[in-house]
Amino acid sequence: MNVKDLAKLYDRLTPRERLPLIMAAVERGDPAEADRLARAAPRIHVSLPDHHGLSEGLAFLTLCHVIEQLDFAVLFWQAQALAADWEAYPAGARDKAAADRMWDVGRLAGYLLCIESEAWKRLHAELHIGPESLLRYLRGHDAVKRTEKSARALAWTPEEAAAYLRRLRSGDAKLRTVEEAVRGMWDIINQRIELWG
């Protein structure tokens, strides 16, 4: 059986057969085949409430937010641990400099974690939804909350963080602000609203 004959059977695939084939086509860099498989699928018709796009966008954003916050939390704790180890067991002057750099990385990760947390609160204030309502049941959120408490005690101010970035790079360093983070969150939500609109 050749490929064209096989493609004639694509409409008979079950969802569990179709999706792995689509993913395999994408993996091997064959978007045309992935598209043929997707277009051959029988269609289902659904009716959704007008708030579905917003709801789905907010759910997607919630997962993205927790993943990003966990990433900052891991970086925060890794940097703290490495800095403490290099200070406690120095093998030379280079370890002292490395420890100082790790303390800086930890403080920057804490700053970014706190910025995103504030943006999350502002977004939810705009939506008139409690900021914990979507987070409280997600795994990892408690770890992020505990990390945020420690990070707030050590995190840089925006001015200190910008000065640190300027030391790392020449020129003007620009850090993400709470306002920019809120706009980015709205962008994600609005993309989902448009998708379902």
CB 192 within 8 A of CB 53: yes
Residue 148 identity = E
Q: Is the pLDDT of residue 1 over 50?
A: no
Q: pTM score, two decimals?
A: 0.82
pLDDT tens, residue by residue, 13-43:
999 999 999 999 999 999 999 999 999 999 9
pLDDT tens, residue by residue, 76-92:
999 999 999 888 887 77
CB atoms near residue 35 (< 10 Å): 13
Q: Phi and psi for 108 in degrees, rounded to 5?
A: -70, -45
Nearest Cα to Cα of residue 168 among 107, 78, 95, 89: 107
